[in-house]
C-alpha cells in the first residue's frame, strides 16, 4: 500500500525578487559632506559608481587643504609665537602660503559653507572668498558649490583678477645685506618680525610675491656659496693629499738612497 504525503509548496517570488535586487548595480551618489576617503574597491562596475567614488575622493583631498588652513589659524591663535614659527619652518611654508592659510582658516563664512557641504574645491577660490566682505560674500553665497570657479564668482561681483595698480603707492623699500643672512629660515624670521611690527598699521601691505622672489634669489645665493665652499674644501683636501704623497715619495726615495749607500 502506497502512502501519499502532502507537501507544502511555498511561494518564493518575494525571496527571489529580494535576491535579484541585491545583485543589481547600486548607484553611488556624490555627497560633499563625506570626509572619509572611500578605500573600498568599486564593487558594482558601472560608469556612475566609478565617477561618483573618484569625485568623492578628489573632493575629500581638496577639502584637506581647508582643514590644514583651519589648523594653521588655530595654531597661530594658541601657540606661543616661537612655537608657531617652528611649525611654519617644519612644513616649509613661505610667507605667501602662510598668509593664504591664515586667511582661509580664519574665515567664518568659509566654515559656514563647509558645514553645508558647499565648500569650493579650488584653493585660489577659497583664498579669494576669504578676502571678501560679508556683503560681497552674501552676494555670491547662492552660487557656491564644490565645482564653482572664481571667474564665475568674480564676474558676479564685477571684479577682475588684476589689481588696480593706479591706487597703490609704493614709498617704502627694505634692504638686507644678503651676506649677513645665514639661511632662508633666518630671512623668513626677519619677514615675520617686519610683519609683526607693521601689523598695527593696516594701510601698509607687504607684497608677498616680492618676498617670495627675494627668498628664491636668497636660496640660489646660499646654494652657490655652499657649492663654492665644497669646491674649496675639495681643492684643499686634494692639495693635502698631493703634499702627503710627495712627502711619502721623498721619504721612500731617501730610504732607498740610504739603503743603497750602505749596501
Rounded distance between C-alpha atoms, residue 159 and residue 132, angstroms: 11
Q: Can you say whether the dihedral through the CA atoms of 125, 127, 129, 131 is positive or negative? A: negative
Calculated CA dihedral for residues 52, 53, 55, 57, nearest 10 degrees: 160
Domain chopping of the chain, boundaries: 23-161, 176-246
Rounded distance between C-alpha atoms, residue 176 and residue 72, angstroms: 28
Residue-level pLDDT at 25: 47
SS3 percent helix, strand, coil of the chain, rounded to 5, is: 65, 0, 35
Give the pLDDT mean for 2-26.
54
Of 35-44, 130-139, 181-190, 212-221, minimum mean pLDDT range? 35-44
| pTM across the whole model | 0.48
In three-state secondary structure terms, 199 is coil
- Tell me the three cell numbers of residue 49: 559608481
Residues 6+ apart with CB under 8 A from 200: none
Question: Which pLDDT tens digit goes with each residue over 35-76?
Answer: 666 667 777 778 888 888 887 777 787 788 888 999 999 999
Residue with cell 651676506: 179
- Tell me the three cell numbers of residue 89: 619652518
Give the pLDDT mean for 170-197.
76
Question: How many Å separate Cα 71 from the centre of its chain?
Answer: 13
Q: Of 110, 112, 107, nearest to 120 (Cα)?
A: 110
Question: Which pLDDT tens digit goes with each residue over 155-165?
Answer: 899 886 554 44
Contact criterion met (CB below 8 Å) for 37 and 63: no
Residue-level pLDDT at 118: 86
- Tell me the three cell numbers of residue 205: 601691505
Looking at per-residue pLDDT, the higher value among 235 and 5 belongs to: 235
Task: Kindly report the number of other CB atoms within 10 A of residue 211's CB atom.
Answer: 20
Task: Kindly report the number of other CB atoms within 10 A of residue 208's CB atom.
Answer: 17
Rounded distance between C-alpha atoms, residue 25 and residue 43, angstroms: 9
Residue-level pLDDT at 166: 45
- Tell me the three cell numbers of residue 177: 645685506
Rounded distance between C-alpha atoms, residue 112 and residue 116, angstroms: 7
Contact criterion met (CB below 8 Å) for 103 and 124: no
Amino acid at each position: 500500500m502506497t502512502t501519499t504525503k502532502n507537501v507544502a509548496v511555498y511561494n518564493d517570488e518575494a525571496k527571489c525578487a529580494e535576491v535579484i535586487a541585491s545583485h543589481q548595480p547600486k548607484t553611488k551618489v556624490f555627497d560633499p559632506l563625506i570626509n572619509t576617503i572611500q578605500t573600498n574597491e568599486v564593487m558594482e562596475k558601472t560608469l556612475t559608481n566609478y565617477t561618483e567614488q573618484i569625485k568623492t575622493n578628489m573632493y575629500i583631498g581638496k577639502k584637506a587643504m581647508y582643514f590644514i588652513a583651519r589648523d594653521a589659524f588655530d595654531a597661530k591663535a594658541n601657540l606661543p609665537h616661537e612655537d608657531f614659527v617652528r611649525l611654519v619652518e617644519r612644513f616649509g611654508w613661505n610667507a605667501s602660503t602662510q598668509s593664504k592659510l591664515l586667511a582661509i582658516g580664519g574665515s567664518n563664512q568659509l566654515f559656514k559653507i563647509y558645514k553645508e557641504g558647499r565648500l569650493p574645491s579650488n584653493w585660489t577660490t577659497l583664498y579669494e572668498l576669504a578676502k571678501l566682505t560679508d556683503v560681497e560674500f552674501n552676494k555670491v553665497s547662492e552660487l557656491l558649490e564644490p565645482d564653482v570657479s572664481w571667474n564665475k564668482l568674480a564676474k558676479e561681483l564685477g571684479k577682475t583678477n588684476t589689481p588696480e595698480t593706479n591706487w597703490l603707492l609704493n614709498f617704502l623699500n627694505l634692504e638686507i645685506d644678503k651676506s649677513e643672512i645665514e639661511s632662508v629660515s633666518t630671512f623668513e624670521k626677519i619677514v615675520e618680525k617686519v610683519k609683526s611690527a607693521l601689523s598695527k598699521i593696516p594701510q601698509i601691505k607687504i607684497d608677498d610675491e616680492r618676498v617670495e622672489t627675494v627668498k628664491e634669489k636668497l636660496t640660489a645665493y646660499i646654494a652657490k656659496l655652499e657649492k663654492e665652499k665644497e669646491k674649496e674644501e675639495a681643492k684643499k683636501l686634494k692639495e693635502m693629499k698631493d703634499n702627503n704623497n710627495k712627502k711619502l715619495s721623498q721619504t721612500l726615495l731617501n730610504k732607498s738612497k740610504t739603503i743603497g749607500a750602505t749596501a
